[in-house]
Amino acid sequence: MGTARLATRPRQWPQGSDTLQAMCQLLGLNCATPTDANFSFTGFRRRGGATDHHADGWGIAFFEGKGLRLFVDHDSAAHSPMADFLRRYPLKSTNIIAHVRKATVGAVKLENTHPFTRELWGRHWVFAHNGDLKDYRPHLHSHFRPVGETDSERAFCWLMQELAKSHAGLPDVRELTLTLQELLPQIRAHGSFNFLLSNGEALWAHCSTQLHYLIRQHPFAAATLMDEDWTVNFADINQPGDRAAVIVTTPLTRNETWTAFAPGELKVFVDGLPLNGETS
């Protein structure tokens, strides 16, 4: 693997993005084969208190088969000893969700730190949210209850509750996507609702205000992080069958082509591609 690590550079934000900076940041990976997320996580964690001010906690969840590893911390990602540990841990998975928090609803506490997890139909589900839901108090009447104080966890619990009401067992990915599309307007009415959701089989990404993605696949090329001077030539470390979709609030790299989601768009990724097979 060809790498170069130099001094950290300040990241350049798109013009007119002051409101977006005040929100949290999302990172998701959906891959055809278990993929090393260290490169993406290294750049992403810098936004949690170093190159940006999302310093009110962070977390990362990654699936290993049907199992799930979850790490959360209410300290800043850029300075967290747990994040330092994960730099040395083999972060390989087919589905990964990470989050750095700028608190808007709920105190800076561990129980308010994303990603959140619940069990449904015998599978782990992981959720992280970027945005602000005003006066959002859904009626929760099943066993899905928030532990913390955030609007994000309330929205997640409501989605899990309504999915459980809509389906007796685990439906296929397309059917789940249709149900989510029917449910989302009830949450979007309360504010911005960018989110990532995964059950280890697929990764759903919804854009309310801002979200980007790219597909890394053969022929692979080099990429340079935007938040730290680190370049990786993915051709040196990947095989032709490897493929990864990377979803993030704002682009992580300076020399790759990122595709912006349309506002209100819901995409589902399976095996490193949008379900409809498009790559751009």
Just list the catalytic residues: 24
HSE at residue 46, side-chain half, CA atoms within 13 A, is 19
Between CA 270 and CA 278 the distance in angstroms is 11
- C-alpha torsion angle, residues 38, 39, 44, 49 (rounded to 10): 80
Query: Three-state SS for 214?
Result: strand
- For the chain, how many residues are written? 280
| Residue among 209, 214, 211 nearest 249 (CA) | 211
Burial of 232 (0-12, 13-18, 19+ CB in 10 A): buried
Q: What is the CA radius of gyration of the chain?
A: 18
Burial of 4 (0-12, 13-18, 19+ CB in 10 A): exposed
In 3-state terms the chain splits into helix, strand, coil percentages (rounded to 5) of: 20, 35, 45
What type of residue sits at position 242?
D
